[in-house]
A and B are shown apart, each in its own frame.
Chain A
């Protein structure tokens, strides 16, 4: 049970009780297969949510998109896709305020989601086709006379080879490569006369590269594969410590030969070290993982307008990462302030006067599980993945105090870890 819960926490925010029971019956291979693949239900839900997103993306604010994305995270039968979309948004942090157009922002987000588990080259090419990326980076104008290095820096530093893995001159050469691309009225346009037609020298190759060719060249670099493998290792296996290069070399080789994100994720979560004891509870939950995981476990759909505000208080304002590198990760999620906000959210979750409690239906959930486990043990098993807590003993009559039990289960330090 503990390792099954671990699998769901890392890949799907968290599991519901039926999902846990089903996964235990199916075994790890079948379960992982099912986590990696969309279903007809998930495709239908995505189509429905895409229509909602399109309808609300009419102004310059991302508030509605924020609420609907959280709603999708709560409802989706294919949570790995949303988890990976969140991963990419955290990695490629484009801020809504900077973009200033919710439709443009939605297109960018759709590109992230569509390619979240696909070919990494396709993901980057799709993003380079989105005006929001150019606006978000301050690269709306790329003139021949004055190449704009913003997109080049982002591509090299955050999207591909990493900050130290290229000569400084590459930034200028790369910036010359996409001269002629402009954003007017939130639309991307190519103006040929502004293009620098001269040959550019990048990573030992000389040529006049198109954007697509640039991506192919950059993703083919071994440093790109290393960057991605380490990033996904931190997301799926453990925040720290970073493994020795030799340890991850096979994965880097795999990704360099076939930059398929889904395949890399699949390899990682089927590996022995994914389930190794040392790697359990070695990932600090982000606020979204913390809240969405809890709510998914409890099979609860809550008002996501309020949830988005609470997440911002905890330090994760969706569509508004603080820097181009995205949100801080790992232990940086936990500060005195954010921990207080998490505690406040837990109390609010069970407050009968609060916005969430009436959506939890805890007694109903517990009653449905009657016969599996006692209510308190059930909650502990569901939310922690094991039947015994090392913290204080649970109330003796938990069935009558489920909200208090929930607060206790969520408040233990280890619940902050996935």
Chain B
């Protein structure tokens, strides 16, 4: 086992070279070796820039604080690993961090082709180092087989100047100067070598789609993942997953045109970027006209780029989401978009008809809403004098904007109170306590809130999950706040008043924006640590100690992420979409 690990490590390290010789490969050179019909490829042109923060002293210090690391550091395997690293460091005459940096100092391309063929091309910076490490790896592989009483697995063969090697049954590789070409079969390796010798290379690099993707991600990208969607859609599982998302009305509304784009676009690409402590991934789909009504086109009243409102900010916020969605147009097209779901939607409409006193959901209710939908999730503070429920769930709320609040506020209020009444009636049938309605004043307005009573509750029931909920409705100015707690409703009233005094520009060309706050997420996870550990034990089959280790590692990582931002936008009326995710780790 350790020998296999050592061989793998040596092979990886064999890809390194002399850091002083900064010989960058010509751009895209490694991807020229990948087959034209690759399904998924990863090309890293500046991998050292990605590795630098991961190998920094600060990251190393943070990693050593992880309980998982500390447990591993006390195990015999750690000692064995250290010995192996020292051995390799002695061989390459540098420390392991420098070794890894040198290893990824060049460029790298990996391709997954049809029939699970894989090809890896790595340009290192010094052929001599590569050959030396390769020799050691070869010796280790031979020794490993000898100790196991098996025939030598190391094989070599060749034509011309290129020697091919295999260290086990699913490995074939060759070293050409300072380039390592590896594949998971001899045939795949031969194809790659043959491709490299053609005058006009019929490789992935030469295709118009790959070139278009490279152009889209721009010159500042550190790397790119490319997805050949035309080929991937021929995979039944992939196609079924896409279709499943399109058939779900809520998911289709939330994701707008992304799944539609994946269904019709010939390719998709992810670009990787790094700026300071912020790591970004941008997703690109080529612009194209999607036939017929689409969730994206119908969620945009103008057919052009939507503009989501600025994200709301409340105390203890975990997540904030802002969407530009025309609910009226979207729902009006439901039969066209989701014919197979019509019966379920009719039931939904009937229920809404009860709440909204016979009004038509499409024309009398949803038509009253502006295409601005904002959602907020925040950690809760619980009323004093009572134990907090277990588990502790975050509060959540939706904020909608009305076209004519003077005419619709009471309609909303009536619908809300009917819904609460229905909940109470149903819970009463089950001998469960109901919600008590209250109408408190806050910030110059009256809003409606509810709560579960503690009166008559057994001590053992005082931490019941229901005490996470105090459903509330507030309608400040032309907004409607539907919140799971009164505190979040109050915080949102404050946030909207602040926004009215200091208007924030809407998010240009963005129809969906999400911000996740890492520390707050970490905080609520910490509050629920015991519950998470219990869940881990029965879901994963871990012992209590293993579960604690897994959850504590998760908590540490969550606390190291400051924020994750997702913005989806682009030119609408087509499904062209861009996703940008930004991490701010270890700050």
A residues near B, CB below 8 A? Answer: 52, 54-56, 58-60, 64, 67-68, 71, 100, 103, 183-187, 301-306, 355, 359
Contact = CB atoms under 8 A, between A and B. Distances in A.
Contacts of B463: 58
Q: Which 7 A-B pairs have the closest CB atoms?
A: A67-B538, A303-B541, A302-B541, A304-B538, A305-B539, A359-B541, A58-B465
B168 to A, nearest CB: 17
Interface stretch (B106-114, B321-329, B453-461, B489-497): B453-461
B539 A303 contact: yes
Contacts of B541: 301-304, 355, 359
5 contacts: A55-B534, A58-B391, A67-B539, A302-B541, A303-B540
B254 interface: no
A55 B390 CA distance: 8
B538 to A, nearest CB: 4
A186 B433 CA distance: 11
Interface centre among B463, B534, B541 (most CB of A within 10 A): B541
B431 interface: yes
A346 B474 CA distance: 55
Nearest to A103: B460
Nearest to A358: B541
A185 B433 contact: yes
Contacts of B465: 58-59
Nearest to A302: B541
Interface residues of B, number: 24
Contacts of B531: 55
Interface string B389-421: 111000000000000000000000000000000
Nearest to B544: A48
B537 interface: yes
B460 A71 contact: no
A400 to B, nearest CB: 12
A100 B430 contact: yes
A230 B48 CA distance: 75
A103 B461 contact: yes
B506 interface: no
B433 A52 contact: no
Interface centre among B461, B465, B543 (most CB of A within 10 A): B461
Given A55-B534, A183-B431, A301-B541, 14 more contacts: A55-B530, A58-B390, A58-B464, A59-B465, A60-B430, A60-B432, A100-B431, A185-B433, A186-B431, A187-B458, A301-B542, A301-B543, A303-B540, A303-B541
A186 to B, nearest CB: 7
Contacts, number: 49
B480 to A, nearest CB: 29
Nearest to B389: A58
Interface centre among A60, A68, A301 (most CB of B within 10 A): A301
A28 to B, nearest CB: 33
A304 B541 CA distance: 7
Contacts of B390: 55, 58
A389 to B, nearest CB: 29
Contacts of A187: 458
A329 B540 CA distance: 31
A21 B389 CA distance: 48
Contacts of A56: 534
B544 to A, nearest CB: 8
Contacts of B461: 103
A131 to B, nearest CB: 10
Interface centre among A302, A303, A306 (most CB of B within 10 A): A303
B431 A184 contact: yes
Nearest to A356: B541
Contacts of B538: 64, 67-68, 71, 303-305
B239 to A, nearest CB: 21
Majority-rule SS of B interface residues: loop
Contacts of A67: 538-539
Nearest to A184: B431
Nearest to B542: A301
B460 A54 contact: yes
A40 B435 CA distance: 46
Contacts of A305: 538-539
B534 A185 contact: no
Interface in B418-468: 430-433, 456, 458, 460-461, 463-465
Interface in B514-549: 530-531, 534, 537-543
Contacts of B537: 71
Nearest to A185: B431
Contacts of A306: 539
Nearest to A186: B431
Contacts of A302: 541
Nearest to A300: B541
Interface string B376-389: 00000000000001
B427 to A, nearest CB: 10
Contacts of B542: 301
B462 to A, nearest CB: 10
A301 B464 CA distance: 29
A101 to B, nearest CB: 8
A62 to B, nearest CB: 13
Interface in B463-481: 463-465
A359 B540 CA distance: 9
Nearest to A304: B538
Contacts of B534: 52, 55-56
A104 B460 CA distance: 11
Interface centre among A58, A59, A355 (most CB of B within 10 A): A58
A59 B431 CA distance: 13
A302 B538 CA distance: 8
A355 B538 CA distance: 12
Nearest to B546: A301
Contacts of A68: 538
Nearest to B391: A58
Contacts of A60: 430, 432
Contacts of A183: 431
A103 B462 CA distance: 12
Interface centre among B391, B461, B538 (most CB of A within 10 A): B538
A306 B461 CA distance: 28
A60 B391 CA distance: 14
Contacts of A58: 389-391, 463-465
Nearest to A64: B538
A71 B542 CA distance: 10
Nearest to A306: B539
Nearest to A135: B431
A54 B530 CA distance: 13
B343 to A, nearest CB: 26
A393 to B, nearest CB: 26
Contacts of A103: 460-461
A192 B539 CA distance: 47
A223 B531 CA distance: 47
A201 to B, nearest CB: 34
A203 to B, nearest CB: 34
A70 to B, nearest CB: 8
Contacts of B430: 60, 100
Interface in B253-286: none
A345 to B, nearest CB: 15
A184 B458 CA distance: 12
A185 B433 CA distance: 8
B424 to A, nearest CB: 15
Contacts of A301: 541-543
A56 B461 CA distance: 12
Contacts of B389: 58
B144 to A, nearest CB: 17
Contacts of B456: 185
A306 B464 CA distance: 25
A355 B541 CA distance: 9
A67 B389 CA distance: 21
Interface in B535-582: 537-543
Interface in B298-325: none
Contacts of A186: 431
A144 to B, nearest CB: 21
Contacts of A185: 431, 433, 456
